[in-house]
A and B are shown apart, each in its own frame.
Chain A
Amino acid sequence: MRFLVRRVLPPGLVAFVFLGLWQSVVMLFGIEPYLLPSPVSVVGAACDNSERLLQATLSTGLSTLSGFLIASALGVMLGSLLGLSRWLERGFYPPTLLLQMVPLVAIAPLFVIWFGFGFGSTVTATVVVAIFPVIANTLGGIRGTNPELRELFHFHRAGRFVTWWKLELPSATPGIITGLRVAAGLSVIGAITAEFVSGYTGDSAPLGSIIIASVRTFQTDLMFASVLIASLVGFTLFGLVNLLGWFLLHNWHSGERS
């Protein structure tokens, strides 16, 4: 009950007031639905297209989750490899950074050429955008390992791998979780962007394709509904990462103890 009052009530209230204002503005000023649909018509569009949207959500959700998981695993591995030596870091960090700087929209068509329309290119695009924060935060966490604890492991003649597994990786966990939180949001962006480009509009079109298609046909309410669902996918992933973080860290890390 306390949890409901403290955590659910404030954002719920804000959302309620916001939606109420939105609905009244649209009704009072008679705004055309193709410019700004009212919340009620957005919900209506979602219900009318429920089957198609459910299919799309599953498709986009699967791409997002796959891309996110691959980016997480690969990111932690690459970040750990860069953490092995300053030389590796100096050599490989700039190209990794480049990966982050290249505009995804510009290279997404390339992935379509390489991997075809659909799952393959979408997942690739997702991995490319989501991996950088994981690498950077893993590397940062490993570099931030307490030097005195390193000395302790050195004193006991721990090998390179054992030191990574028993000291560096746990030390880097708070950072890795932060990286995964950022990556969760980026994964949705990556998947939706790739789906824009592939522009597939059949029965099993993913959310990104529905968004593009509905904009072209001025079905703004359907577009809003799709965007909202895409955000929910990201939100769910973010929640899962938080749960993982709590599970791994609440015992010992001050940031997660409450």
Chain B
Amino acid sequence: MSLVSDASSESVPMISLSDVSQNFGRDFHALRDVDLEIAGGEFIALIGPSGCGKTTLLQLIAGILEPTHGTVRIDGGDASQARDVACCFQDPRLLPWRTVASNVGLPLELEGVGDSERTDRVTESLEKVGLSSFLENLPHTLSGGMRMRVSIARALVTRPRLLLLDEPFGALDELTREQLEDDVIELSEREGMTTVLVTHSIRQAVYMASRIMVMASSPGRLRRELRIDLGPRDSDTRTSPVFNEQVRLVQREIRSGGDS
């Protein structure tokens, strides 16, 4: 059992948010006074009740939202300038009129990467998710799990150092979701990516992350930090007593936050 609640930084933080607040309109405080440091290579999960600002926090890290107050830094630079960030959403978000290859290549196309390099990297990326024989398929001919894989390949194609997961795989059946969770853990370890997962699934957070930030709502803020250590995951991890014990602890933590 290793639930440690103190923050510790192993190295120079990859992501650092200091004193960040986000308001929408005059009165709605989506986030207040958030301080968070995430080290390179770390797998962190943000979890909390709906409306606690987890997706807002992710958008701030992604640099598509400017904080009302405070600073968000990626590698010491401004978040909106950071290039090697990729994101996977709850649903695959593929363009239905484009083939798999063309969908995966979209981020490179928007960056202005040339044709031949794009083809190489699309092929490489689809190999990583095991879909190299579906280059010319249109999204509607694939299963839900395969479409999600295409969207993971699209995230990997930019060779990101930071991977953001916004409630991923929520729309998939349980078996497919568990398979994809394993795949993402393996990929992010192999590629040495820093990964931030936003989720409302406690089991997903405990299974995938090494650190969980529990959030509270109105105003959205970080309430508590929990460290998870399950060791290497295998097929029995999800049914092990250690795993279930940690799930229960996180559950308790979230409930006690809801009362205050």
Interface residues, chain A, CB within 8 Å of chain B? 146, 148-149, 151-158, 162, 166-167, 170, 173, 251-254
Contact = CB atoms under 8 A, between A and B. Distances in A.
Given A156-B107, A156-B111, 18 more contacts: A146-B93, A148-B89, A148-B91, A151-B93, A152-B89, A153-B110, A156-B110, A157-B110, A158-B110, A166-B95, A166-B106, A166-B110, A170-B95, A170-B97, A173-B97, A251-B97, A252-B97, A253-B97
A70 B248 CA distance: 66
B96 A148 contact: no
Interface of B: 62, 64, 87, 89, 91, 93, 95-97, 106-107, 109-111, 138-140
A154 B64 contact: yes
Contacts of B138: 251-252
A152 B96 contact: no
B174 to A, nearest CB: 23
B140 A252 contact: yes
A152 B107 CA distance: 9
A170 B102 CA distance: 14
Q: Give the 3 A-B CB pairs with smallest separation, nearest first.
A: A252-B97, A252-B96, A156-B110
A155 B138 CA distance: 23
A151 B110 CA distance: 14
Contacts of A162: 110
Contacts of B62: 155
B97 A155 contact: no
Nearest to B164: A155
B63 to A, nearest CB: 9
B87 A167 contact: no
Residue among B91, B97, B140 facing the most chain A CB atoms (10 A cut-off): B97
10 contacts: A151-B93, A154-B64, A155-B64, A155-B87, A166-B106, A166-B110, A170-B95, A251-B97, A251-B138, A252-B140
Contacts of B87: 155
A253 B89 CA distance: 23
Nearest to A248: B97
Nearest to B99: A251
Contacts of B106: 156, 166
A153 B246 CA distance: 38
A149 B95 CA distance: 8
B93 A149 contact: yes
Contacts of A152: 89, 93
Residue among A152, A154, A167 facing the most chain B CB atoms (10 A cut-off): A152
Contacts of B96: 252-253
A168 to B, nearest CB: 11
